[in-house]
Amino acid sequence: MTFISTTMATDNVHLNDASPSAVDQTVVDAIAKADIYHSAGTTYLHIDNPLTSNSSASSNNDANPSGAVVPPISLATTFRQNTPGEPMARDDPNSWGLGYEYSRTGNPTRGVFERAVAAAEKTKYCVAFSSGSAATSAVIHLLSPGEKLLSIDDVYGGTQRYFRKVVNPRMGIDVEFVDFGNKDEVQSKLKSGGGKIKLFWLETPTNPTLKVTCIRSVAALAKEHNALLAVDNTFCSPYFQNPVEFGADIIVHSVTKYINGHSDVVMGVVCTNDEDVYKQLRFTQNGVGAVPSPFDCFLALRGLKTLHLRMEAAARNANAIALFLERHDSVSKVVYPGLKSHPQHEIATRQQNGYGAMITFYC
């Protein structure tokens, strides 16, 4: 290996005096200590091949023959086929093994973005939709008439409206709301569900009162009752929380908020490790057709690449503002997961990598 001439020292080990193996570990340790973002930027930047050409692909199917370091915007609605009924580019990872035939079914720019978000959420799969509400709707399509949904009571207003006014009366799916932090209430709802509850819906933190729920506990309940757990992770973003690490089956985001981060894209995503769930979501994406445009995917991908920087800065600002408000004479109550006064502060500390940027306060 090549030695780096430097006087930098870590834990009293000088690089120019150390053995090759010691240098390797010292450099790794030094980088780890310096990288407050835990390699998130590297993940967001480089998972979205085709940043380099795929040498194993045929010349016709090569995802990035130019070597462009920024994924291109593919505006084509239709893709040619060498043989009728046989889509090209099945070996392009951004096609998810399906190739390309029609842009509603699959699009190269959308595929790049989906793979990058899947990496950020530490899941195998991601399916993008034209809004967060469309993403929520796609998850509900996993259910059948007569089945039941158990949702956190403090759910986002748009989601609650959809559950109450569309899902319940028009789709034949019974929706119950519960405080997952109240064990007696939860057990009562589960008992009355009669084994028909097939989906648990959780937001943590919630919008806008910032209630935090233990994902691991709810995931265990869902598994015990043979149900799926979906977690709306919008307020934390993939940078501050990865629900799959605590047993969640499905992760939902309004990309419009932090992932895109620039107030110029409306979009949603659903992430999962469950192949059967993924296939159903992909079928719904194609069948219903609520897909984002290639240009929006390009913008959201660019936003994702600075997610770690933005979330760290926003959380620092939120913490400072929350502390200021907590001491202000005109403020009666401040709700922020990073404050020790937050009733679920310890839960947030266990399952989040940061406390986020949202604050609720009362005057």
What positions carry a catalytic annotation?
Answer: 104, 156, 232, 257
Neighbours of 10 (CB within 10 A): 18
Phi and psi torsions of 78, nearest 5° = -135, 145
Count other C-beta atoms under 10 Å from residue 48's C-beta. 24
CA–CA gap between residue 23 and residue 17 (Å, rounded): 9
- Cα separation, 292 vs 126, in Å, equals 13
What is the C-alpha separation between 178 and 201, in angstroms, rounded?
Answer: 10
